[in-house]
Structure 1
């Protein structure tokens, strides 16, 4: 089986994502929300499908603005269910709205989504493992099973494995982390 580092470079969609986003730490709330929303929508589909629809998701979900999405009601749900530019799945749409509301509450409890992730990154003075993250995400968010949570966290550098150790992107990420 090929690793993402073997198939992504040079691909018109996977290449730029692999080279500039996958495994790169992020702090901005809209970027974190986008990544979570895209990972949720990828369930049962290929990542290429999601990357092809990324601009559609951005437009449909108001630039991934958490406050705007958190306020969505039935009119917006109906609009999203009819938007061919995204994945039209009621459970995934409801999860996006619910999770935006959760992220709003994380501002009060932790200062924001990134701070919540940071606060939970260690467990008993060691990096939190995937199983523990999955339990935490299932307790906190909707539509966040093992694969979705794992890919979300790996894509942000909270879990290892986004890149092969010898991948040029992995080398850049290690150099950045060492600074």
Structure 2
């Protein structure tokens, strides 16, 4: 099974995807981890590398190409990134969108990165705007269009274990024979 977990920064994508992969016996591939590794290899912070990506479209496109290849080649993975649902396209068996209010996400990010919440909020809002503009420009994707997702969860309302339990229940209850169809992904990817 190929499951995608998407959402903006600070919603718990990595925590959820990792736990879900463990419960289901699948591998977990994180686009954020890949992005941070490449940034670190090149001597940048994630924020600095994100700013560089605004000027060099090949950074995003290389990461997205890698994630799309994983989705096309594997069916034993929980693929996690902001665009995972789009990049996996119809290869995905189940697409999840996680969200939470910006203030909640900023507090989480501030705690995780040991920075003031106000700074995390400002950086997160700027990052989201920048990424949304780039995804629209590169691929014609409106990241606010959630119609491709099978399930959307506000992670500010439940703890991490409850979110994973909801997803496991939804996936366990899924019956491919009763499936009347998912929304097709109509984005064009040119890397």
Q: TM-score, normalised by structure 2?
A: 0.28
Structure 1 length-normalised TM: 0.30
The structure richer in strand per residue is 2
Larger helix fraction of residues:
1
